Structure formats: C-alpha cells, structure tokens
Amino acid sequence: MTDVQDAPARVTPMMEQYVEIKSANPDSLLFYRMGDFYELFFRDAELASRTLGITLTKRGKHLGEDIPMCGVPVERADDYLQRLIAAGHRVAVCEQTEDPKEAKKRGGKSVVRRDVVRLVTPGTLTEDALLEPRRANLLVAVVRARGETGGFVFGVAHVDVSTGAFAVGEAALASLGAALARLDPAEILVPEALVDELATATGETRGAVTPIPRDMTDAARADARLAGHFGVATAEAFGALSKAELGAAAAVVAYLERTQLASRPPLARPVREGRGAAMEIDAATRANLEIVRTLAGQREGSLLDAVDACVTAGGSRLLGARLAGPLVDVAAIRRRHDAVAAFIEDPAVRRAVRSALAGAPDLARAAQRIAFGRGGPRDLAAIRDALRAADALAARIAPLVPAAEELGAISAALGAADHALGADLAATLDDELPLLKRDGGFVRAGADPALDEARGLRDESRKVIARLQAGYADATDVRTLRIKHNNVLGYFIEVPQAHGERLLKPPHGETFVHRQTMAGAMRFTTTELGDLERRIGEAGQTALGLELAQFDRLAAQVTASWDASRACAEALAALDVAAALAEVAVDCGHVRPHVDDTLDFRLEGARHPVVERALKRGGKPFVPNDVTLSEAELDAGIVQLVTGPNMGGKSTYLRQAALCAVLAQAGAYVPAKAAHIGVVDRLYSRVGAADDLARGRSTFMVEMVETAAILNTAGPRSLVILDEIGRGTATFDGLSIAWAAIEHLHEVNRCRSLFATHFHELTALARRLGRLRNATVRVKEWKGEVVFLHEVAPGVADRSYGIQVAKLAGLPPMVVRRAKAVLDELEAADRASPVERMIDDLPLFAAARPKPEAGPDPVAEELDGIDPDELTPKGALEALYRLKALRKAGEA
C-alpha cells in the first residue's frame, strides 16, 4: 500500500489538507476530525484497524488504488486512544480550528481549517479513561552532563502530567537503572545520541523510550526555558540544580510544550531529590521480590496489593511510591511510624477518618484537568467533595496531632485548602451531573437567576412542542405522528409513509411541507414549527451559554487555588496511607520495627505478607521464622547459608526478610513479632530462573549477570538474598561459583546476606568463615512420605528430598524408582569427601592469587640468539640439537 508521503500533488482539497498535516507528524497516528468521527487514512488506517479490531474500509482513489480508511466516534475516542497508547502508538489529535460557516464564506469547496491540537503519548495522559487510577503515570527525562568532578552524571527529571508533581535528581551511570526502575515511568525521554548507550546501561524498561532532539537538552537554553515556563527570572529560584538536573527538567518542559499544543499543563515547581535518599533497588531485584507487580506484570499478588488498604486512588499511588523507594533517613522513617502508631492507638478516629476519606474523590487529577482545560462538570464535583472531606478530616485528626509530627503537617495542609471554593462549588453544582459541559444541566436551580429565566423559556417551549404534536395528530387523525429533532434537520414531523402520502394532498398539503422520505416514513415541517424551533434554539443557547460562563468562572477559581489544592491532595493521600497501614497492622498482626543506623538485622517470628494472605484465604496457617543477620560483637553482617529440601520454603524465607526491610523503611509496620532493622541502603535479590533471549542471554547468563552486579556493588549496609547460585551449569562449575561468591560476600562485601543452596558441601565453609552461619529448613519423614515443616533452624540439611518432590509432582513410578537407585549409587561413591579436604586445604581466594613469576627461559634465549639467514645447513642441525638439550634440562 502506498503511504501518505507518496500522495500526488493533485488530490481533493480535504485530502490535500490531510497529507499536509500528516507529513508534519510522520511518527504519530493522525486522528483527523470529520464531523462526529476521527478518521484515519492510508497506513495509519491499516495499523489502527488491526490494533483496534475495527473495520477497514475505503474512501476515494489514489494512484488508481482505493484509499484505506477507518474511523472512531469522537464521543468514544478515549477508549480507542487507551488501546492505541497501550499498543505503543503515539496519536496526533487533529481538530477543526474554525467554524464551518467561516469556511463557506471563502467558497463552497473551501475546507474547514484543521490543525493538530495535541500529541497523545504514554507519559502525557490526563483523562481518567486513559489512566490507571491507583498508579502514577510518569514522564521521565534523562540527560547527561559533565559533573563538578569532571566525570559524567545523569540528570533525571520526572513529572506526572495527571497531577502536576515534578521532581529532579542526579544518578551515576551505575545507579541509573535502579533510579528508573524505582520511578517505573510510562515514557522516557532520551537524547537521540544516547538512546543505544542508555539501553545497554539500564536494561529493559516498561516505559516507551522517546528520542528527543538536541535542542530540547541544550544546556545554554535550559535555564531560560525552565524559568520561562514558571514565570520566574531565573531557574535559581528552584534551588542549586546541577547542570544535568537543569537539563533534564528543561527537557520535560520542552517536550510538554511540543506535545500539548493547545494548552500548557500546570506543574508544581521542581523538587530536588538528593542522591541516596531512598533505598537503592535494581530492576532485577524489584522483579524478583514482586514489590509493586508480579513477574507476570499484575498488581494482584504483589507486596503492594497485599498491604494496600487505602480507600482513595491518591493514597494507593503514594503507597506504591513509598514501597518503590523506601527511605534511608531514620528520622523520616520514624515520623511515618509515629503516624501509623497514632491511628492504631485510637481505633475510633481511624474508622472515622477512613470513612470520610472513602468519600473523597481524586482531587489531584480532577484539579489538574480543570486547570489544564480538559475537565468537565464531574471534575468540579470531585473537587467539591474532596474539599468537603478535607474540611471534616482536619477536625477529625486534631486529637492525634500531638502524637505524630507528620499528622500535624497533614492537618495544616488540610486547613489551608480553599474551603471558600468548596462552598461555591457546592452552591453552584447540581447533584446529577453530565460528563461533558457542552451537554449543560450541571448548574443547580437557583444558583443563577438569569439562567433560571432562560431555562424557563426553553422548558416551556418543550411543552409547546408536545401540545403542537397533539394538535397535529388530531388535525390529521394520525396518532403515530411525532415531532422529532436531529442535528441536520432540526425539528421535523415524522409519520408512517402511508399517512405521509395523505399529508402531501389537500387539505393538509398547504400546511405540511415535505422535507424527506425515509424507508417506511416521511418527514415534514410547518411554518409554525419553524418559528417555534427558532425560539427554542435561542432559549437553549442562551441557557447553555450562561452555564458555560458559570463553568469558566469556577474553573478560573480552581486554577487560582491550584497550589493549595495540590497540597490538600497530597495531605489526603498521606493521611489515607497512614490510616490504611494502621488498619493492615491491626488486622494482620504487624508490629512497629525499631529502625536505626546500626548494622542490626533481627526479625522474630517473621512472615511473608503475600504468602500469608494467600494461605489465609485457603484456611491454612503460615509458619513464622526468625531471621538473624547480625551479632553485637561483629563489625559486619552475617552470611546465613540456608540448606534444605525443595518445597521446604527457602525462597519464601529469603524473600520475607527482604520485604520486611522494604516495609519498615517505607514507613509501614512489618509482619513479625518483633523487628530491629539497621537501615539498608541497597537491597539485592537473585531469586528464580529466567532467560533473556531477546538480548542473547541464557538462563545461566542472566543469573551470572545479576550475581556479578551484586558482588561488584554491595556494601556493608546492603542486604543481599541469593537463591541457588550456580545451579544452571555443571555441578562442579556451579559449586565452585557458589563457593567463591560466598567467600566474596563474607570477605569483600561484608554485608548482611541470605544464601540458599542445594550444594550441601558449602556448609563446611562455616569452619573457616567466622561470620557464616548455617541454617536448614526442617522436614520429617512419616511412613515413607516427606512432611515439610517450613521451619528454619540452625543446622545443616543432609539431603534435598528432590526425588520425593518429583514423586509428589506425579512423575511415573518407574522413573521415581530408577532415580532412587541412581541416587543410592552416587551417594555410595561418597563424592563429598574431596570437597571436605578442599575446605581444609584450599586457602581463601587461593585461585585468585597470582602465580609466582617464572625465571628466564633458556630455550627462548637460545632462539633469540639465532639468525636463520646466517645459518648453514649444518649449523641449523646443531642449533636444533642444542634446543632439544635445553628443553630436556628444563623438564628435569
């Protein structure tokens, strides 16, 4: 199929306009407004029809071929946009920019002017229909600049266009992937020259990567661009932003200016996020621990899903952000814990607060849409209801404020909200509201006397229409006569065709003027109906104009108090999170962790929150376990080596320790009887098996890449959990890798670590590594069957019970019996004894020590002294004998 770029110069005026606009937006699907439809042509139509599952039709000819065409109704455009964006497409929305009546003045064949008013991309969505209510939708820009010390650093700016939140920070190349994984952006802006480099450095991301031209990241223009957007003299008003941070922030602003052509989204002033303010968690660890989504990409089954009892969408978004970026500041963590504790101690206030919050809509997104010019009457109502809830909540939490500093800040923000705006909205808006302001009917009766008068005229005219219809029905003796209305004909009289033929003849023919013949019906008008339509139209338009004026007045007030509304929305979200975490703590038996700056890590009776929740649904108990990765007399973390059978619960044990650290530092209580956690600055997890065929990596290669990242970067404050390292290769290769990894964790990283393995030979390392502790998952054999107790205790497992697990899985009995026979033979060979000797004989890191330098090689020296061009045949033979003699002497 010929693409639009190949279209000839001589085409219809409408298609000529389409080609011109499409050529200016070649990388986007063009939604071209045609009346009540957005239409797509050429290759755009083919792509959209396949993606949306709609009919591909044709419209006219081009180069002798039919022009492919498909369309979607304007009123359902959001549904189709959501599917196109989810499929990775960008959409340029092209609207009519002049009144069709003005186009007709230029000539009968003149085309109504159209232009792109907005580029819809994954990171610039604001409509509820296009967004997930409980997930932030971040647009991120990454810009590289030279740092103060001379090396390169990366500025990372992120904005949620749906709420206006804006923040900037810096990251080194090594931590850039973790920073992006924490933000989980919908779209990432990357300079064209860095796309390939950053893809290699950061790995796969869920967000769509959008290359941006150099002019958007020009450091010389960044200050002016950012200052111009916020109407300040200089970007220094936002604090001491580095060159990289300034460039990234300016890139976000520039991109929004280019994509939001008809309007500019309001943004909060950029907040600077300091380096190291949050626990660093790389993308692989997030995926392995399933913090905000499962490995399948679902929210259900994740840690966030298990502890999210929030009753507002803003609260859920904030809780997700806190779990994605747990704090490392002890004082800030304790302030969050204080707020949760206050709600636990006063159940009555907690219940009242949660009940009030349940009636608070999404203030942040509603206020943003109104200020952005994309809102409707229901957004105004959401702001009204949220401000009403804020007013009530400020009084509700007053008794708790003395006990929690964070609640004091929340109370102040709630009190500073524009409650006069809330009262005005309540007095103006009706109870039942339309989705679109153009439909009218959203202003309460009595709010505007002029509007009430116009409505009276309009509504009385409708009664006149009903009386007129009854009069015509009586005069013609046609009881099925109806007066109807559409946008093309206006008001008209419709009768069945059999009666319509009568109305064409005297005596009715002089009164009823024929307008249209339909299949089975005929349409007429009268002079009286035409006059009535004019009066109705004027009254209706007057009423709608007055309503729209009220809408604009209220929208201007919302825009004027946008900063206060944002602060109120943030306070409502923080309040919801604190009350929700208190509810979870009470319902699930979570305790307040003691968090400090030590290297302690002790959990008593810890549980896995997700697994426990799943077991509870099935009526089964979860077996808690203690985790100890520190001892008072040691100056570094313990490496706990966990052995035990398959299905015994090793992976659950490892993960629950990591998730308790995440919860504690996010400000939540933890599923345990007691918890003491020294702040974890970096969390690492290498659990499970997965390949990356798209990047040419086998399962084992993925495992080794992730393990390498851990061993190269983990420090004393890190928490590392490793599960079955080395199992993806030959037995002795895997054992050797696991052995060396444990030594490195113990001697070099010196971090708190949990290391699960089936290589039982490694347990003997405890004899030599002073901070290595052995633990095992207990089992019992009963009448030939294995009972998994899911208890972790000090000690060493003597076997893996893999054959018993295979039997449970349903392997054929013949295979199970044969496997057991082979196992008995292998165990009889006592292959472990050489490893036991190696534990005692092989010094730590012996393989890594350089070999002693060799002395002079006499053979090489003799060869250096020979000139082949000067040798005679006899001399060559003598030289060969000398070389052989020297070699024999060396071997001796």
Label residue 891 by pLDDT band (50, 70, 90): low
| CB within 8 Å of 129: residues ≥ 6 apart | 78, 79, 82
- DSSP strands (E only) in 26-150: 29-34, 37-41, 57-62, 65-73, 91-96, 114-120, 139-146
The CA-CA-CA angle for residues 160, 134, 295, to 5°, reads: 100
Nearest Cα residue to 512 out of 501, 532, 521, 533: 501
Asked if the model's pLDDT at residue 126 lies above 50, the reply is yes
Asked if the model's pLDDT at residue 269 lies above 90, the reply is yes
Please tell me the distance from the alpha carbon of residue 638 to that of residue 754, in angstroms, as a whole number. Answer: 8
Asked if the model's pLDDT at residue 832 lies above 50, the reply is no
CA dihedral (609, 611, 614, 620) positive or negative: negative
Label residue 691 by pLDDT band (50, 70, 90): very low
DSSP 8-state class, residue 274: P
For residues 289-295, give the mean pLDDT.
92
Label residue 839 by pLDDT band (50, 70, 90): low
Q: Do 566 and 304 contact (CB within 8 A), yes or no? A: no
Pairing state between β 57-62 and 65-73:
antiparallel
Q: Between 608 and 852, whose confidence is greater?
A: 608
Please tell me the distance from the alpha carbon of residue 41 to that of residue 58, in angstroms, as a whole number. Answer: 8
Pairing state between β 625-628 and 521-525:
unpaired
For residues 697-710, give the mean pLDDT.
80
The CA-CA-CA angle for residues 838, 841, 844, to 5°, reads: 90
For residues 527-548, give the mean pLDDT.
87
Asked if the model's pLDDT at residue 521 lies above 60, the reply is yes
Model confidence pLDDT, tens digit, residues 559-575: 999 999 999 999 999 99
The two structure tokens encoding residue 213: 């031209």
Model confidence pLDDT, tens digit, residues 327-364: 999 999 999 999 999 999 999 999 999 999 999 999 99
The 3-state DSSP class for residue 751 equals coil
Architecture of domain 4-120: 3-Layer(aba) Sandwich (3.40)
Annotated binding residue 69: no
Label residue 135 by pLDDT band (50, 70, 90): very high
List b or e across 308-324, with b for residues whose CB sees 16 or more CB atoms inside 10 angstroms.
bbbbbbbbbbbbbbbbb
Annotated binding residue 648: yes
Please tell me the distance from the alpha carbon of residue 517 to that of residue 497, in angstroms, as a whole number. Answer: 8
Q: Which fold has domain 594-799?
A: Rossmann fold (3.40.50)
Annotated binding residue 137: no
State the pLDDT at residue 732. 78
Nearest Cα residue to 125 out of 71, 52, 44, 186: 186
Label residue 471 by pLDDT band (50, 70, 90): very high
Say which amino acid occupies 98: E
- Cα end-to-end distance, the chain, whole Å: 80
Give the containing element (helix H, strand E) for 168: strand 165-171
Nearest Cα residue to 680 out of 709, 656, 653, 660: 660
DSSP 8-state class, residue 679: P
Annotated binding residue 645: yes
State the pLDDT at residue 688. 63
Annotated binding residue 302: no
For residues 620-632, give the mean pLDDT.
93
Q: Which residues, in sequence order, are bridge partners of residue 522?
A: 495, 517
Q: Do 433 and 384 contact (CB within 8 A), yes or no? A: no
Asked if the model's pLDDT at residue 812 lies above 50, the reply is yes
Quote the distance between the C-alpha of residue 364 and its chain's center.
18
- The whole-model pTM stands at 0.83
State the pLDDT at residue 868. 75
State the pLDDT at residue 835. 56
Is domain 131-275 in CATH 3.30.360.10, yes or no?
no
- Please state which CATH class domain 308-418+561-588 belongs to: mainly alpha
- DSSP strands (E only) in 474-532: 482-486, 490-496, 513-518, 521-525
DSSP 8-state class, residue 95: E
Least confident stretch, 557-566, 702-711, 830-839: 830-839
Q: Which residues, in sequence order, are bridge partners of residue 168?
A: 157, 272
The two structure tokens encoding residue 689: 């098996």
**What rounded mean pLDDT belongs to the chain?**
87
The two structure tokens encoding residue 598: 């030590």
Percentage of residues in the chain with pLDDT exceeding 70?
91
Nearest Cα residue to 738 out of 822, 807, 642: 642
Peptide bond before residue 213 is cis, with ω within 30 degrees of 0: no
State the pLDDT at residue 337. 98
Q: Checking phi first, is residue 611 left (phi over 0); if not, alpha (psi -120 to 50) or beta?
A: alpha
Say which amino acid occupies 577: V
Asked if the model's pLDDT at residue 825 lies above 80, the reply is no
The two structure tokens encoding residue 863: 């060869």
Helix then strand count (H, E) for the chain reads 30, 27
Please tell me the distance from the alpha carbon of residue 446 to that of residue 450, in angstroms, as a whole number. Answer: 9
The H-assigned helical ranges of 360-494 are 363-372, 377-396, 405-415, 419-428, 449-476
Asked if the model's pLDDT at residue 696 lies above 70, the reply is no
- DSSP strands (E only) in 203-254: 208-212
Do domains 131-275 and 594-799 share one topology? The answer is: no
Please tell me the distance from the alpha carbon of residue 188 to that of residue 255, in angstroms, as a whole number. Answer: 11
- Please state which CATH class domain 449-553 belongs to: mainly alpha
For residues 402-415, give the mean pLDDT.
93
State the pLDDT at residue 1. 45
Annotated binding residue 646: yes
How many CA within 13 A on the CB side of residue 422? 22
Model confidence pLDDT, tens digit, residues 167-221: 999 998 888 888 999 999 999 999 988 888 777 666 656 678 889 888 887 777 8
Identity of the highest mean pLDDT range in 308-312, 727-731, 815-819:
308-312
Label residue 539 by pLDDT band (50, 70, 90): confident
Q: Between 716 and 264, whose confidence is greater?
A: 716
Asked if the model's pLDDT at residue 753 lies above 60, the reply is yes
Please tell me the distance from the alpha carbon of residue 826 to that of residue 770, in angstroms, as a whole number. Answer: 32
Label residue 304 by pLDDT band (50, 70, 90): very high
Asked if the model's pLDDT at residue 856 lies above 80, the reply is no
Q: Do 127 and 91 contact (CB within 8 A), yes or no? A: no
Label residue 851 by pLDDT band (50, 70, 90): very low
Nearest Cα residue to 599 out of 467, 740, 752, 812: 752
| CB within 8 Å of 389: residues ≥ 6 apart | 356, 357, 359, 360, 572
Asked if the model's pLDDT at residue 264 lies above 90, the reply is no
Asked if the model's pLDDT at residue 302 lies above 50, the reply is yes
Asked if the model's pLDDT at residue 108 lies above 80, the reply is no
Q: Helix axis angle, 562-588 relative to 609-617, nearest 10°?
A: 60
State the pLDDT at residue 693. 42
The 3-state DSSP class for residue 12 equals coil
Q: Do 565 and 558 contact (CB within 8 A), yes or no? A: yes
Least confident stretch, 346-355, 730-739, 755-764: 730-739
Asked if the model's pLDDT at residue 714 lies above 70, the reply is yes
For residues 139-153, give the mean pLDDT.
85
For residues 94-105, give the mean pLDDT.
82
Annotated binding residue 486: no
Annotated binding residue 315: no
Percentage of residues in the chain with pLDDT exceeding 90?
51
Q: Where are the domains of the chain?
A: 4-120, 131-275, 308-418+561-588, 449-553, 594-799, 858-891
Q: Checking phi first, is residue 651 left (phi over 0); if not, alpha (psi -120 to 50) or beta?
A: alpha
The two structure tokens encoding residue 90: 């960008």
